[in-house]
Amino acid sequence: MSTPAVHHDPALRIVKRDGIALWKNWLIRLIAVLFALILSGLFIYAVTKMNPLDVYKSMYDGAMGTSRRTWITIRDTMTLLCIGIGLAPAFRMRFWNIGAEGQMLVGGIATAGLMIYLGDSMSTPLMLVVMAVASLIAGAVWGILPALCKARWGTNETLFTLMMNYVAIQLTSYCVALWENPYGSNTVGQINQQTRAGWFPEIFGNSFTLNVAIVLLLTVGMFLYLRYTKQGYEIAVLGESPNTARYAGIKLSKVIVRTMAISGALCGLAGFIAVAGSSHTISTSTAGGRGFTAIIVAWVAKFNTFVMLLISLLLVFLEKGAKEIASQFNLNDFASNIITGIILFCIIASEFFVNYRVVFRRRKEVGPS
């Protein structure tokens, strides 16, 4: 007579959470940040034999040590947040828009071109409106092209939008050569430096106030759009299940094209903010990799634009702080980037514990025979 097979439960199992309380959600993330600081501290001490607290203080000084540094951190946070807001509807729809870098660049090209050609013939307030509209249209066109191909022929949006980045980079290089100033420098230089035509004006004594106002309005607007509008509902249904969306009578191609037009337009607007409200020039480094960093912002925040604000601030803070410790403690960029990488890795890894829990096998009590 054969012995029946004995099945043992695994020592531990990973179980998807049905839901988690908000305070637990943030507690997990806070623990991840504290753990990251401990790991970074161990790395700092192993490499430099310095007190990690001194290094962390240096990071704070690099990002917010002075009023000017604080405003620069806020300015860069707003630009990164604007791109993240642009990516949110596309990612919510499960359309992997990896082309924010290119969409931002074409928005910046449109802005810079109008600053150059209309700077002497149009007032700055009117020019700002025209440039904003032009950057929205340019970014929308760059987003609609892959969306149309996806809706019509089922092309891979990840590769398509990624390749569009390289087209935008080459287009930017062409425009830099066309508009270079002075001639032969291969740079555009600050546009309208004498007249400041097309530059964001100072409001309340600060030239970055308008950057903040525009992006905060977008933050609130996108949150309401995704949560409380019919179009936001269609985006969510399509992202969860295309078959369910078809059954509900949602026209998929229309939603895809419309959503990518919005996504590209907002990324293009980030180009307008970067050129007219920050650098006042255009180059292939105007986007500076922020189109890819914003993917982390949108994904970790789960498309909640208010959480994106916190994530964007953290990432910019780490970037500024890493540069400061690299210069102050004679660390190379690789060492400072390792610290940033440790913190980011722990934050991203914390999402696993937000979405899943680990269940350990309980020992079975055996009573007396």
- Predicted local confidence at residue 4, as pLDDT: 60
Given a contact cutoff of 8 angstroms between Cβ atoms, the answer to whether 58 and 266 are in contact is no
- Predicted local confidence at residue 12, as pLDDT: 75
Provide DSSP, 100-131: HHHHHHHHHHHHHHHHHHHTTTS-HHHHHHHH
- Predicted local confidence at residue 258, as pLDDT: 97
The length of the chain in residues reads 369
The tens place of each residue's pLDDT in the chain, 369 residues long, gives 556 655 566 777 788 877 777 788 888 888 988 888 888 888 888 877 778 888 888 888 989 989 999 999 999 999 999 999 999 999 999 999 999 999 999 999 999 999 999 988 899 999 999 999 999 999 999 999 999 999 999 999 999 999 999 999 999 999 999 999 888 888 999 999 999 999 999 998 899 999 999 999 999 999 999 999 999 999 999 999 999 999 999 999 999 999 999 999 999 999 999 999 999 999 999 999 999 999 989 988 889 999 999 999 988 998 888 888 877 777 776 777 787 788 888 888 888 888 887 777 665 544 554
- Predicted local confidence at residue 181, as pLDDT: 86
- Residues 260, 88: Cα–Cα separation, whole Å: 10
One-letter amino acid for residue 45 of the chain: Y
- Predicted local confidence at residue 306, as pLDDT: 95
Given a contact cutoff of 8 angstroms between Cβ atoms, the answer to whether 86 and 103 are in contact is yes
- Residues 227, 310: Cα–Cα separation, whole Å: 19
- Rounded to 5 degrees, φ, ψ at 14 are -100, 120
How are beta strands 356-360 and 12-16 bridged, if at all? Answer: antiparallel
- Predicted local confidence at residue 268, as pLDDT: 98
